[in-house]
Each structure stands twice: as structure tokens, then as C-alpha cells.
């Protein structure tokens, strides 16, 4: 089996389509690119005003929120560096444990359902046009039953989507620019970035590497990767991902109970990201709704991406309880429904057919097998770094291993690992200042690639 | 239902912009009414010429390409994870070559999406709340509604049926459904749909030249919605056929009405490299950032379908369905015309725009529904300029179109 890096063509296109348009380093040198603000990986061959003073400009002001963003979104930046590395070393066998991209084929029970739906669309009886924006009834019911049985979350509380990333932005559109938010530090970058885009934040403060007006809840080895809630100021919204990307830490029942209490005291709304819940090994809660009182203060976002390998197929959901109300008593779900009807038009019907198969008994069994495979990968990576004497976190309840490199810049470590082992990881500071000094290694990969990568790590750090 | 007395309220304020929205989004409202009508008359055969929902099955060549692709995701060689957020390289190329041949649009300027409604919202997020917008009146409701949601507008004024701070460009029989641009205030963004939903009017080359010039003079950005361009019998299909458009326009389009992909979800937006903000910053760079941060690409299976649509055989098959709907439109046009009504659209778009002078469109909608069991869409749902009109879609099985025509003839004569 090849150890050549997965998704070669897609990663190149991710970087070059934005980067150069023609996958050609020559173009960078020959164009005068001087775009205000540091934009990485998004350099187009555009002649800028400095080169052509007579170039036409509209009179439309750039959205200043976009100007606040510091760099490109994290993962295209990783893709860009991987692509550049591969150009530099065309014969190297690059292994990608960076972007958390699934690698194993989707179980047949799921793809055959999608194939079946595709064919059905070419028949008179089977053709369907617009679906309900909230998702197909059957699928909503099946998600409620599979993940929220006995938790009081019903079919009509479920909103099917094209994935968590899109949902997070639609939630930000829902909340608007006047809300304040808290995030774990480190955390999945989409929460912060979408907040900046929607105008909830102030400028980026270079000295602390934080955006103004966001409450960063530090999660480090010192506090067991759960924030010290007594030190956190009140915000309207609290983004909380558990198991956490990137630290891999899954909050305990007791901790989530405290989180819910904290939200209740402050009248805040928790947006609970449970995209990795199926990776939990021990008996930590899989859903925020397992905590009594959570329905009045939280909503939950989840995804089929990491369960069923649907990273390209695109399917997820958001659950909003009827009990979740704004300060004037208006139900949050009602406004979200309006957003979903106006700013979205439903997840692809074929993907939804796949989703229905995912939550069938056979599908759930198959998803557990795939998840189990990646968990074995995680064990191998954890064991490797443990044996090398590193302080290793995560890995038990998530497909990410969070490795401590004390006193070092995570981008430097990332570069060194890439240069010396041709393995792509993700630098912790990409997830927030609390990630500085850490490297995230993702456990998605073919078994032989993971084993080979670990061999190379052992070589480098022996 | 939750007990209002004892239930808990968070301390999070409802987004005032959501509060500003007047009604439900138009199309779920139409669905609601259809459901109620069906409950009231369980034995009636309701014909839906309301929501512009495609009805004819996908051509086999396209469905089977998606089925094959889905199956390949179960194989080691065929499995694909995350795709490029901007879309599959081949598909971007095919879109550029099929729709923008000789217009200088590069693959890298094409962003594949899960449809226009999503693209319009992402464009609004891109623009932000400090923009002024102009829309045709009447127009597809998503432009206005997303404008309200993002915070670009003031309050709704009941008397005029308009939101403050939006420039409504009236399009009616009096001005041949093209706005009186000299009378139009400058706005940052101009949403322009041609062929227009709901009026069906496809702007001429001369009109589009006027529009581009207007945008250039004002330093505005046109968001050109060409979702129905394949229905055009005669006239420009893309804004980029107009010289100078690359510096002032974004184009949004969709496979929904081209290929029956209303449920499959696939579309695209073109952002030319020359389109820059007042400070010289390329719009495409920011749109790319939005796409990478707020989106994760259209479904790879839908994209495989899109590629099949743009193959030689696929495109032929897809156009065959388009012609089917155009035939439907002709039948409906003839029906209304024969009844002595003033009818517009229908030639370059799958919508027929029927004038009932002096009426209130919701009343006409209700009456048609009650007496003929046909769902249409009241024109005022598209803006105050639509208040005396009814939109009838040409999407439907031929026998339903013919049956509907019969019923309308009986009822309206």
C-alpha cells in the first residue's frame, strides 16, 4: 500500500486554486503582490494598485471585520505548506497527520444507500426536488432517536446541515454582531474566525495573540484541560467542544454539570460541539443534554464527518431545544429556523440518504468499526510519543494527540518535523495562544502511514 | 408547549435584525398554505405551480455518475475526504468553459457551492452590515431578507411595504421591467437577477450595458443572479458578456433550475480578480476567506453530478428538461393570454407573471387556490412592486400543466 500522502490532488487544488491558480511558483515572483494585511495561501496573481495606479476601483469599502483576520484560515495554510514541501521534495513520501481528514473508505451499507438515492432521482416515483430546509423528516427522527433517546430532544429539534463548519457560521449570523463570546483556548479556529467576521470582536492584539472582546478560556495541563470557570467573565455565548479539538480532552459529567450551572447563573448560551463524541472511550457524557438543566442553556452541533468519513459528502446537524429562550422569552429555535429557511436550502438529499443509512443498526455498527480503526491509530501515536519521553495528552477520547514541546514555538516544531520526517502535523498556536508549545497529531490515516510516521518520529527524537 | 410562567429565560438578547423581519420566508409560507388547503380538501387534486420546484427526473447519465461516485467512496482508490472549499478543480474548469467561454473567466475565479441561497448569504457576510443595497422590485426574497438579517437595513414600513435603507428599483410593465437607473440612488451593492424571478424579464444587451455603466459611475458592485440563464431564448446569458463587467460584477448561478438539482444542491459564484474594494483589496481574496472559514465545500457527490451535467451528453440531456419546462411556460402563457389577461415573462424564464390590475395579490392567490386548487405565488411576496401580480411556475409534469390550464380557463372565463 502506498505511503504517498492522501488527497494529493485535492490538497494541491485547495492551496493552488487560492494560492496561485496555476500551481506555479514562477507566478509569485513575477507578480507584484502587495495586499494589505498578511494573507497566507490566498495570493492571487492580481496586479495591485501599486503596480497599476490606473486600475479601476469600486467605491465599496472593504468589510473591516475581514481586515481584522490575521492570516488565512488555519487548515488551508497547512495545506499550502504541505504543497510547498512536496514541491521542494518531489520524491519524499509525505505523510499527512495534519488536517483532520478521514482516510478510510465509507462502509458499503452507507454508500449503497447513496447510490440507490442517486438512481431514484432519475425515476418518476423517486425524483424529489427541494427538501425541507430543516432536513428530511425520517433522518431528523433517526438522529433524535440515535443520539438523544431519553434526553428529551425530539425530531423537530434537529436541523440537518451540510456540516458543523457551515452550522457554526449560521449560528453566528443568528446571534448577530452584538453578542459576546467565550471559547476554549486552544480550540477549533472556526469559532473565533466566524466571530471576527460577524463583527463580534475587536482587533487582534499581537502581544497576547488574542482578539479583543473574546473571552479565552485557557485549557492546559495545569488545569486538567478544563477552564477555571471562576476566572471567566460572563459572555452571551460559550463555545465548548468536547471531546476537544485539538487537545483531545473529554470533559467529565461533573465538569459539564459545572459548565451548565455557570451558563445558568450567567444567562449564557452554550454551543456544545460534539463532533467527536463517538470517540469517547470512558463514560464521559456524549451529549450536553445528558446534564440536567442543559436544555435551557445549550444547543449542540455535531457532524457525520468523523464518524462516517463524510468529510467530503457533507452532513451534520444542530439540535436546539424548545426550552432555549432569549432574554425576551423568544425561542432560539424559531429564529434558527428562519435562518435555515433563508440562508440555506437543506443538505444534499443524497448525503441525507447516506445519513439515514449511517444511523441504521448496520450503519451504526459500521461507523463504530471505522471509529475503532482510527482509535487504534491514536493508540499507536500515543505509545510512540510516550516511549520517546514526551508529555502526551488527548488520544484516549478523541482522534487527536496533543504533544507538549516546552519552550518551543509550535510553528518551529511543525516546520522541523515536516523538514526532517516529511510528516505534516498541526502547530498548536494555530488553535489559539493556549496551544503554543504544543503539536497536534491527528490519527486519521492508513495504518501503514501511521506506523511509518511513528517510525520516523522515533528516528528523529530517539 | 413550555409554561410561560415558570420557564427559564437566558440573558442573551435576541438579534434585533431577526426581529425586524416581517413575515416568514416566502416559500415556507406557501408550503404552509398548501398543507392547510390539502387538509381542508383532502380529496382535491392540488396542483402546485407555486414554489419553483423542478419536477422532472434527472437524466440517467447524471444520476448514474453520482451513484458511481458514491459507490467509489467505499473503495480505497476512490475514497475522498475533504475537498477544496472552492470546489473540485475539474468542475471549476468545466463551469468556466461551459458558461463563460471567451469571457476571460478563469477556473480560479469560480467558487462551487451548495446553491445560490447559501451563496447570497455568504456574500452578505462578506459585505458586512455597513453596505447599502439595491434590489429589483419585485425580486427573489433572499436578497432583501439576508440584507435585513446581516443588518444592512432599517425597519419595515407597512405603508410602503419596504425596508428602510434599501433602494427598490421598480420593474413593471410601465418601464418594460428594467429599472429607471437615472432615478436610482447610489448603493454599494446592486442585486440584479436576469432572467428575473418572478417577472421572467431577461434584460437586453443594451440594458445590461446601461447597468454596468451605472455601476461603474457609482463605484458599485453588481451581484448578478443568472440562475435562469439557460432559459433564455435570445439575449445575453452572463453579465460578463458586457465589456467592463469584470471590474464591477459578481455572478451567482445554480444547477437547481438547469439540471433539477434543487435537492442535490450545487451552484457557483464567479468573482473576477479585477473586482476590488475602494482600498484596492481584491474582493476574491476575502470571498475565498469566507468560503474557507464558513463553508467546507459542496458535497463531492453533487459535484460529480455537476461534472456529468457539463459533459457533452449530460448537457444535452439537461437542456432537454429545460425545453420541457419552456414548453410548459408556453402553454401557461397561451392560457392566460386567451383569457384576456396581461401576461409577462414565460419566454426567457420558467415563470409566468400575470397582471390582475387593481387587485391584492394575496386575495387573488387565495381565490385561485380555493376555486381551482392550484397553488401559485402572490406577487407581493416578492416586494411591493408585485402587489397586483401572480407568479405561476412552469415546473410541473405536462399533464398537471394541462390540467391546471383547463381549470384556470373554466374559472377565469
Rounded Cα–Cα distance for residues A149 and B64 (Å): 37
Q: Please name the member of B57, B80, B280 whose beta carbon is closest to the beta carbon of A123.
A: B57
Mutate to test the interface with B, among A35, A122, A163 (most CBs of B within 10 A): A122
Tell me which chain A residue has its CA closest to the CA of residue B51.
A130
Q: Which of A42, A50, A51, A63 is the best mutation test for B, with the most CBs of B within 10 A?
A: A63
ipTM of the complex model: 0.97
Tens of pLDDT, residue by residue over B20-32, are: 999 888 999 999 9
Judged by CB atoms closer than 8 Å, whether chains meet at A58 and B293 is answered as no
pLDDT(B18) > 60: yes
Mind listing the pLDDT tens digit for each residue in A114-160?
Answer: 999 999 999 999 999 999 999 999 999 999 999 999 999 999 999 99
**Cβ–Cβ contacts within 10 Å for residue A91, how many?**
6
Say which residue, A204 or A72, is predicted with more confidence: A204
pLDDT digits (tens, 9 = 90+) for B305-325: 999 999 999 999 999 999 999
Q: How far is B215 from chain A (nearest CA, A)?
A: 9
- Hey, are the CB atoms on B263 and A346 less than 8 Å from each other? yes
> Across the interface, which of B63, B70, B296 has its CB nearest the CB of A122?
B63
For residue B311, the model assigns a pLDDT of 98
Interchain pair B108, A72: CB under 8 A: no
Give the pLDDT score at A33: 34
- Nearest residue of A to residue B29, measured between CA atoms: A341
Of A45, A46, A325, the CB nearest to B7: A325
Chain B residue numbers touching A327 (CB-CB < 8 A): 9-14
CA distance to partner chain A, nearest, from residue B407 (Å): 24
Answer yes or no: do B12 and A328 touch at CB < 8 A. no
Residue A145 and residue B142: Cα distance in Å, rounded?
33
B54 to chain A: nearest residue by CA? A129
Phi, psi of B145 (to 5 degrees): -60, -40
Residues 6+ apart with CB under 8 A from A250: A242, A243, A244, A280, A282, A284, A396, A397, A398
Q: How many residue contacts between A and B have a Cβ separation below 8 Å?
A: 394
Residue in chain B closest to A47 (alpha carbons) equals: B274
Question: Choosing among B186, B294, B396, which should be mutated to test the A contact, i.e. which has the most A CBs within 10 A?
Answer: B294
Q: How far is B358 from chain A (nearest CA, A)?
A: 30
Q: What is the pLDDT of residue A72?
A: 83
E strands within A138-251?
158-161, 181-185, 204-205, 210-211, 214-218, 237-241
Residue B61 has a CB neighbour count (10 Å cut-off) of 17
Contacts of A191 in chain B (CB under 8 A): none
- Min Cα separation B327/chain A (Å): 19
Interchain proximity B108–A17, CB inside 8 Å: yes
Closest residue in chain B to residue A136, using alpha carbons only: B263
Contacts of B301 in chain A (CB under 8 A): 114, 118, 313, 348, 350-351
pLDDT at position A431 is 97
Chain B: closest CA distance from residue A308 (Å): 11
Instruction: Tell which residue, B89, B84, B106, has the closest CA to residue B298.
Output: B84
CB neighbour class for B174 (10 Å; exposed up to 12, middle 13-18, buried from 19): exposed
Lowest mean pLDDT among A6-20, B63-77, B82-96: A6-20
Mean per-residue pLDDT for A364-385?
A: 98
Q: What is the pLDDT of residue B403?
A: 98
Contact B277 A57 (CB under 8 A): yes
Q: Select the residue of A21, A60, A163 nearest B277 (Cβ to Cβ).
A: A60
User: What rounded mean pLDDT belongs to chain B?
Assistant: 96
What are the pLDDT digits (tens) for B401-413? 999 999 999 998 8
pLDDT of B57 over the 70 cut: yes
Q: Mark yes or no for CB contact B18/A335 under 8 Å.
A: yes
Grid cell for residue A320: 436546539
Please give the Cα distance from A185 to A189 (Å, whole number). Answer: 10
pLDDT of residue B6: 61
The distance of B147 to chain A (nearest Cα, Å) reads 11
Q: Is B117 in Cβ contact with A344 (below 8 Å)?
A: yes
CB-CB contact of B264 with B127 (8 Å): no
- Mean local confidence (pLDDT), B142-154: 98
CA distance B305 to chain A (A): 9
Strand partners for A240: A272
* Secondary structure (DSSP) of A307-376: HHSTTTT--EEEE--TT-B-TTS-BHHHHHHHHHHHH---S-HHHHHHHHHHTSHHHHHHHHHHHHHHHH
With both helix axes pointing from N to C terminus, report the angle between A410-421 and A74-88 in degrees, rounded to the nearest 10: 30
Q: How far is A407 from chain B (nearest CA, A)?
A: 30
Chain B residue closest to A39 (CA)? B285
The CA distance from A104 to A101, in Å, is 10
Q: How many CB atoms lie within 10 A of CB B334?
A: 13
Q: Give the mean model confidence (pLDDT) for residues B353-366.
A: 97
Chain A partners within 8 Å of B27 (Cβ): 341
Question: From A65, which residue of chain B is nearest by alpha-carbon distance?
Answer: B128
Tell me, what DSSP letter sits at residue A433? G
Q: Is the pLDDT of residue B79 over 50?
A: yes
Flag if B293 and A73 touch (Cβ within 8 Å).
yes
Q: Which residue of B has its CA nearest to A11?
A: B84
Cβ-defined contact of B28 to A42 (cutoff 8 Å):
no
pLDDT grade, residue A421 (50/70/90)? very high
- Strand order of the sheet with strand A400-404? A391-394, A400-404, A438-442, A426-427
The number of residues making up chain B comes to 413
Q: Please give, rounded to a whole number of angstroms, the shortest distance from the CA of A24 to a CA of chain B.
A: 13
Q: Which of A375, A89, A431 is nearest to A245 (CA)?
A: A431
Q: Per-residue pLDDT for B358 more than 80? A: yes
The contacts of residue A61 (CB under 8 Å, 6+ apart) are B130, B188, B277, B278, B279
Determine the pLDDT at residue A55.
Answer: 86
**Which residues on chain B are in Cβ contact (under 8 Å) with A102?**
81
How many angstroms separate the CA atoms of A436 and B127, rounded?
Answer: 33
Of the candidates B332, B377, B351, B320, which has an alpha carbon nearest to the alpha carbon of residue B195?
B351
Nearest CA in chain B to A67: B286
Residue of A17, A59, A343 lying closest to B86 (CB–CB): A17
CA distances from B262 to A166, A344, A458, B304 (A): 19, 12, 52, 15
Compute the average pLDDT of residues A365-377: 98
Q: Distances in Å between the alpha carbon of A76 and those of A81, A190, A430, B89, B296?
A: 9, 12, 12, 15, 11
Residues on chain B touching A72 (C-beta within 8 angstroms): 289, 292
pLDDT tens digits, one per residue of B224-278: 999 999 999 989 999 999 999 999 999 999 999 999 999 999 999 999 999 999 9
Say if CB B194 and CB B203 are below 8 A apart. Answer: yes
Q: Are strands A269-273 and A237-241 parallel, antiparallel or unpaired?
A: parallel
Q: Which of A13, A105, A194 has its CB closest to that of B74?
A: A105
**C-alpha–C-alpha distance, residues B216 and B301, integer Å:** 39
Report CA-CA distances (Å) from B330 to A167, B51, B347: 41, 18, 7
Q: How far is A217 from chain B (nearest CA, A)?
A: 19
Question: How far, in Å, CA of A341 to CA of A11, rounded?
Answer: 32
This prediction has a pTM of 0.93
Residue A374 has pLDDT above 90, yes or no: yes
| Whether A323 and B131 lie within 8 Å, measured CB to CB | no
Mean pLDDT of B159-187: 97
> Mean pLDDT throughout B180-185?
96
* Residue B25, pLDDT score: 87
Picking from A118, A369, A430, A443 by the largest number of B CB atoms within 10 A of its own CB, the best residue to mutate is A118
For residue B89, pLDDT over 50 is answered with yes
Chain A residue closest to B266 (CA)? A348
pLDDT at residue number A53: 54
* Grid cell in block for residue B179: 429599472
Interface test with B, best of A121, A306, A347 (most B CBs within 10 A): A121
**Residues A259 and A229 sit within 8 Å (Cβ to Cβ):** yes
CB spacing of B10 vs A61 below 8 angstroms: no
- pLDDT over threshold 60, residue B3: no
B98-121: pLDDT as tens digits: 999 999 999 999 999 999 999 999
Mutation pick from A14, A58, A180, A355 vs chain B, by most beta carbons of B within 10 Å, is A58
pLDDT in tens, A176-221: 999 999 999 999 999 999 999 999 999 999 999 999 999 999 999 9
Amino acid at each position: 500500500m502506498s505511503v504517498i500522502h492522501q488527497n494529493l490532488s485535492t490538497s494541491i487544488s485547495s492551496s493552488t486554486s487560492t494560492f496561485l491558480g496555476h500551481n506555479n511558483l514562477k507566478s509569485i515572483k513575477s507578480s507584484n503582490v502587495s495586499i494589505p494585511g498578511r494573507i497566507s495561501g490566498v495570493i492571487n496573481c492580481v496586479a495591485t494598485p501599486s503596480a497599476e495606479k490606473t486600475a479601476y476601483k469600486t467605491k465599496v469599502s472593504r468589510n473591516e471585520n475581514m481586515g481584522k483576520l490575521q492570516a488565512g484560515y488555519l487548515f488551508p495554510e497547512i495545506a499550502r505548506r504541505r504543497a510547498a514541501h512536496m514541491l521542494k521534495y518531489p520524491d519524499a513520501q509525505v505523510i499527512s497527520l495534519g488536517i483532520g481528514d478521514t482516510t478510510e473508505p465509507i462502509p458499503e451499507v452507507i454508500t449503497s444507500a447513496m447510490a440507490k438515492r442517486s438512481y431514484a432521482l432519475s425515476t418518476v416515483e423517486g425524483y424529489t426536488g427541494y427538501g425541507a430546509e430543516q432536513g428530511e423528516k425520517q433522518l431528523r427522527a433517526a438522529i433524535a432517536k440515535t443520539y438523544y433517546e431519553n434526553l428529551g430532544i425530539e425530531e423537530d429539534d434537529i436541523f440537518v446541515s451540510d456540516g458543523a463548519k457551515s452550522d457554526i457560521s449560521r449560528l453566528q449570523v443568528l446571534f448577530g454582531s452584538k453578542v459576546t463570546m467565550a471559547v476554549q483556548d486552544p480550540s477549533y479556529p472556526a469559532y473565533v474566525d466566524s466571530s471576527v467576521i460577524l463583527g463580534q470582536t475587536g482587533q487582534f492584539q499581537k502581544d497576547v495573540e488574542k482578539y479583543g472582546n473574546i473571552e479565552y478560556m485557557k485549557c492546559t495541563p495545569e488545569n486538567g484541560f478544563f477552564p477555571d470557570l471562576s476566572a471567566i467573565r460572563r459572555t452571551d455565548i460559550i463555545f465548548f467542544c468536547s471531546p476537544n479539538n485539538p487537545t483531545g480532552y473529554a470533559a467529565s459529567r461533573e465538569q459539564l454539570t459545572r459548565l451548565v450551572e455557570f451558563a445558568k447563573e450567567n444567562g449564557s448560551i452554550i454551543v456544545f460541539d460534539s463532533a467527536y463524541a463517538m470517540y469517547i472511550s470512558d463514560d464521559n457524557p456524549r451529549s450536553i443534554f445528558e446534564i440536567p438543566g442543559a436544555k435551557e442553556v445549550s444547543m449542540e452541533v455535531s457532524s457525520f464527518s468523523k464518524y462516517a468519513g463524510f468529510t467530503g459528502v457533507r452532513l451534520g446537524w444542530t439540535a436546539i431545544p424548545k426550552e432555549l429562550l432569549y432574554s425576551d422569552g423568544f425561542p432560539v429555535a424559531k429564529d434558527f429556523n428562519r435562518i435555515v429557511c433563508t440562508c440555506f436550502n437543506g443538505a444534499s438529499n443524497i448525503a441525507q440518504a447516506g445519513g439515514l443509512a449511517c444511523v441504521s443498526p448496520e450503519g451504526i455498527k459500521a461507523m463504530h468499526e471505522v471509529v475503532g480503526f482510527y482509535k487504534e491509530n491514536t493508540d499507536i501515536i500515543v505509545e510512540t510519543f510516550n516511549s520517546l519521553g514526551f508529555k502526551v495528552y488527548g488520544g484516549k477520547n478523541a482522534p487527536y494527540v496533543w504533544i507538549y514541546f516546552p519552550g518551543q514555538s509550535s510553528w518551529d516544531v511543525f516546520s522541523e518535523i515536516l523538514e526532517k520526517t516529511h510528516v505534516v502535523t498541526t502547530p498548536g498556536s494555530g488553535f489559539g495562544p493556549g496551544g503554543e508549545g504544543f503539536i497536534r497529531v491527528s490519527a486519521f490515516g492508513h495504518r501503514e502511514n501511521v506506523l511509518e510516521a511513528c517510525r520516523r518520529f522515533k528516528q528523529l527524537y530517539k | 408547549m413550555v409554561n410561560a410562567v415558570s420557564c427559564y429565560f437566558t440573558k442573551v438578547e435576541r438579534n434585533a435584525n431577526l426581529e425586524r423581519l416581517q413575515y416568514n420566508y416566502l416559500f415556507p409560507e406557501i408550503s404552509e398554505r398548501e398543507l392547510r388547503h390539502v387538509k381542508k380538501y383532502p380529496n382535491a387534486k392540488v396542483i402546485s405551480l407555486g414554489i419553483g420546484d423542478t419536477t422532472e427526473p434527472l437524466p440517467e447519465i447524471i444520476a448514474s455518475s453520482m451513484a458511481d461516485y458514491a459507490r467509489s467512496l467505499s473503495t480505497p482508490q476512490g475514497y475522498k475526504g475533504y475537498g477544496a472549499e472552492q470546489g473540485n478543480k475539474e468542475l471549476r474548469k468545466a463551469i468556466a468553459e461551459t458558461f463563460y467561454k471567451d469571457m476571460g473567466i478563469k477556473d480560479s475565479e469560480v467558487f462551487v457551492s451548495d446553491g445560490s441561497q447559501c451563496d447570497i448569504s455568504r456574500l452578505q457576510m462578506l459585505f458586512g452590515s455597513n453596505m447599502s443595497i439595491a434590489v429589483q422590485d419585485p425580486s427573489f426574497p433572499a436578497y432583501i431578507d439576508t440584507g435585513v438579517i446581516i443588518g444592512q437595513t432599517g425597519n419595515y414600513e407597512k405603508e410602503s411595504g419596504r425596508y428602510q435603507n434599501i433602494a427598490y428599483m421598480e420593474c413593471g410593465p410601465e418601464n418594460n421591467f428594467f429599472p429607471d437607473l437615472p432615478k436610482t440612488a447610489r448603493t454599494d451593492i446592486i442585486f440584479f437577477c436576469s432572467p428575473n424571478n418572478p417577472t421572467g424579464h431577461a434584460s437586453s444587451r443594451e440594458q445590461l450595458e446601461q447597468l454596468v455603466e451605472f455601476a461603474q459611475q457609482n463605484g458599485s458592485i453588481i451581484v448578478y443572479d443568472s440562475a435562469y440563464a439557460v432559459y433564455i431564448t435570445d439575449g445575453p446569458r452572463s453579465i460578463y458578456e458586457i465589456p467592463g463587467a469584470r471590474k464591477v460584477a459578481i455572478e451567482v448561478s445554480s444547477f437547481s433550475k438547469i439540471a433539477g438539482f434543487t435537492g442535490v444542491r450545487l451552484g457557483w459564484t464567479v468573482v473576477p480578480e479585477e473586482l476590488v474594494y475602494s482600498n484596492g483589496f481584491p474582493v476574491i481574496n476575502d470571498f475565498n476567506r469566507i468560503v474557507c472559514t464558513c463553508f467546507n465545500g459542496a458535497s463531492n457527490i453533487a459535484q460529480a453530478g455537476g461534472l456529468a451535467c457539463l459533459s457533452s451528453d449530460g448537457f444535452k440531456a439537461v437542456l432537454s428538461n429545460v425545453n420541457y419546462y419552456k414548453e410548459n411556460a408556453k402553454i401557461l402563457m397561451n392560457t392566460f393570454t386567451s383569457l384576456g389577461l396581461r401576461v409577462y415573462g414565460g419566454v426567457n424564464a420558467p415563470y409566468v407573471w400575470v397582471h390582475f390590475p387593481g387587485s391584492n395579490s394575496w386575495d387573488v392567490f387565495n381565490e385561485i387556490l380555493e376555486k381551482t386548487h392550484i397553488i401559485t405565488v402572490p406577487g407581493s411576496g416578492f416586494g411591493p412592486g408585485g402587489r397586483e401580480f401572480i407568479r405561476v411556475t412552469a415546473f410541473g409534469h405536462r399533464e398537471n400543466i394541462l390540467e391546471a390550464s383547463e381549470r384556470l380557463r373554466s374559472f377565469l372565463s
